[in-house]
């Protein structure tokens, strides 16, 4: 099996400061990888470099495109990268309002992404929008409401629907359950797990919540000060952490 994403020696500097450095990994189809670390550890910088939102200073991010096999997304042209961002990639922001158009209806938010890949038939677009809103448990009677009229949890689910409607193969998530209360988090976790299982998605999830990665991620990468300090199978890293920082992180979690 060939990897879906191949990252080699990726680095991003902010002047003299390290954003992230020496990051290398392969992600295979159907795998979910978690990236954990404290604030400022470089996990969001890394995610943004992978997703093409930031230009890395060094290294390669090769993605298995449908037509031409592995292509370095760092050196490909801007239109090509944008096309990936609309089709095979999805990005779920921590704050739903960063990933939604707040003054467009819920149905419009989902439909817009379909139109970006040349869907033109109004009835089809609306049917698909209804289908996806249903999958994320937003009832059909809310399709014409704007996201401003939605709760935080609903906005987050709408953002997920908008992102997944085009059938992406790789989803980047930045703290997808952050800022939501725990009962809403649980529902979202279940939803994400079901989508990953049924659609065979690969995903990279940045979070500081170890309970979230234990339930969602197959693999884990632990970052500190821009460096990857430990990687491995999620339950292995959490149950038998090798690096001092990971041991500290795992032992700092409050037991409920």
Partner 1 sequence: MISVENVSKSFTLHNQGSTVIPVMAGASLHVAAGECVALVGASGAGKSTLMRMIYGNYLTASGRIMVGDTDVASAAPREVIALRRRTLGYVSQFLRVVPRVPTIDVVAEPLLLTGTGADEARAQAATLLARLNIPERLWGLSPTTFSGGEQQRVNIARGFAFAYPALLLDEPTASLDPTNRATVLAMVQEAKARGAAIIGIFHDHAAREALCDRQVDVTGFTPGLAA
From 53, 146, 227, 243, residue interacting with partner 1 (rule: CB under 8 A): 243
9 makes contact with partner 1 (CB under 8 A):
no
* 215 belongs to the binding site for partner 1 (CB under 8 A): yes
- Pairwise CA distance, residues 51 & 110, whole Å: 20
Q: Which of 113, 51, 48 is nearest to 86 (CA)?
A: 113
Distance in angstroms (rounded) separating the CA atoms of residues 141 and 19: 44
β-pair type (32-36, 89-92): unpaired
- How many Cα atoms occupy the beta-carbon half-sphere of 46 within 13 Å? 33
Taking CA atoms, 246 is separated from 11, 214, 236, in Å, by: 22, 14, 11
- By CB under 8 A, the residues from 23 to 52 that bind partner 1 are 28, 31
**Among 60, 76, 104, 189, interactor with partner 1 by CB under 8 A:** 189
Given its phi and psi angles, is residue 219 left (phi above 0), alpha (psi -120 to 50 degrees) or beta?
beta
**Binder to partner 1 among 24, 137, 190, 199 (CB under 8 A)?**
190
- Work out which of 218, 222, 223, 226 binds partner 1, going by CB under 8 A: 218
* Interface region with partner 1, contact rule CB under 8 A, candidates 99-107, 129-137, 182-190, 200-208: 182-190
Decide if residue 137 touches partner 1 (CB under 8 A): no
| Site of interaction with partner 1 (CB under 8 A) | 28, 31, 182-183, 186-187, 189-190, 193, 197, 214-215, 218-219, 232-233, 235-236, 239-240, 242-244, 247-248, 251
């Amino acid at each position: 099996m060939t990897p879906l994403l191949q990252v080699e020696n990726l680095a991003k500097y902010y002047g003299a400061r390290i954003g992230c450095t020496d990051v290398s990994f392969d992600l295979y189809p159907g795998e979910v990888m978690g990236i954990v670390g404290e604030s400022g550890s470089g996990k969001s910088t890394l995610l943004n470099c992978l997703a093409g939102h930031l230009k890395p200073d060094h290294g390669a991010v090769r993605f298995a495109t449908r037509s031409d096999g592995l292509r370095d997304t760092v050196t490909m042209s801007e239109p090509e990268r944008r096309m990936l961002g609309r089709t095979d990639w999805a990005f779920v922001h921590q704050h739903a309002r960063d990933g939604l158009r707040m003054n467009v209806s819920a149905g419009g938010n989902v439909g817009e992404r379909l139109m970006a890949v040349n869907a033109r038939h109004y009835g089809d677009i609306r049917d698909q929008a209804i289908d996806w809103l249903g999958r994320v448990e937003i009832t059909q009677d809310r399709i014409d409401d704007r996201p401003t009229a939605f709760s935080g949890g609903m906005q987050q689910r709408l953002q997920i629907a908008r992102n997944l409607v085009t059938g992406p193969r790789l989803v980047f998530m930045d703290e997808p359950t952050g800022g939501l209360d725990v009962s809403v988090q649980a529902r979202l976790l279940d939803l994400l797990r079901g989508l990953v299982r049924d659609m065979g998605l690969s995903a990279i999830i940045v979070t500081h919540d170890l309970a979230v990665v234990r339930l969602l991620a197959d693999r884990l990468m632990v970052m500190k000060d821009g460096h990857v300090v430990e990687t491995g199978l999620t339950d292995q890293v959490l149950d038998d952490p090798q690096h001092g920082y990971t041991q500290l992180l795992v032992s700092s979690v409050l037991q409920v």
